[in-house]
């Protein structure tokens, strides 16, 4: 093993990384195989991001890295050095719930709550993807620019399909995402 000690080097079996998490720079010394999920939960006590399957199948651990949704159980913390990461704890706006969080409450979009943070993080990113014009597998015409007005319930279901809910609150989740996306 190499014995480097400065600037993200490996020393004593750990790697130093600096992550900007929820708009705050944090420097951590992590074991090279530590997932981002474990770094968030164990090293930073950000427990809103949930460990569900730990295999990238359920979506409970969804966070945003550089504005894109990522399963934090499937990426290493050491790979995220210098990156902007947003967790469920960081999407509030001036102390108020994010519009999608508020819509989840209004539409009773959770029961046990275990998947909720991942569902919300995925939904926030999904709305941004729609605003950017990204089509999905459910998009009828991928050659045509996609807009918020094209966002149907089928589109929402397809775009949220990587997030599982064992309580089956899917209709309420779709309603919440639709409302937050500006649909009534």
Residue the block writes with tokens 């015409």: 141
Model confidence pLDDT, tens digit, residues 49-101 = 999 999 999 999 999 999 999 999 999 999 999 999 999 999 998 899 999 99
Helix (H, G, I), strand (E, B), or coil: what is residue 52?
coil
Query: Using CA atoms, how far apart are residues 101 and 109, in angstroms rounded to an integer?
Result: 10
Contact between 59 and 117 under an 8 Å Cβ cutoff? The reply is no
Give the torsion through C-alpha atoms of 176, 68, 87, 27, to 10 deg. Answer: -170
Show the domains of the chain with their CATH numbers.
Answer: 10-90 (3.10.20.30), 99-180 (1.10.150.120)
pLDDT score of 12:
78
**10 pLDDT band (50/70/90 cuts)?**
low
Helix (H, G, I), strand (E, B), or coil: what is residue 14?
strand
Model confidence pLDDT, tens digit, residues 113-135 = 999 999 999 999 999 999 999 99
Contact between 45 and 109 under an 8 Å Cβ cutoff? The reply is no
């Amino acid at each position: 093993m190499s014995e480097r000690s400065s600037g993200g080097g490996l020393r004593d079996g750990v790697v130093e990384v600096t992550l900007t998490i929820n708009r705050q720079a944090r420097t951590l010394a992590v074991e090279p195989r530590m997932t981002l999920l474990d770094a968030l939960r164990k090293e930073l006590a950000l427990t809103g991001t949930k460990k569900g399957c730990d295999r990238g199948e359920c979506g409970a651990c969804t966070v945003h890295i550089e504005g894109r949704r990522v399963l934090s159980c499937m990426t290493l913390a050491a790979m995220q050095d210098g990156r902007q990461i947003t967790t469920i704890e960081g999407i509030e706006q001036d102390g108020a719930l994010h519009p999608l969080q508020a819509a989840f409450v209004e539409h009773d979009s959770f029961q046990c709550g275990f998947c909720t943070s991942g569902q919300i993080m995925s939904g926030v990113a999904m709305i941004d993807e729609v605003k950017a014009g990204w089509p999905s597998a459910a998009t009828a015409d991928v050659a045509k620019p996609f807009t918020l007005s094209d966002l149907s319930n089928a589109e929402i279901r397809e775009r949220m399909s990587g997030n599982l809910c064992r309580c089956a609150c899917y209709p309420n989740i779709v309603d919440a995402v639709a409302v937050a996306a500006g649909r009534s």
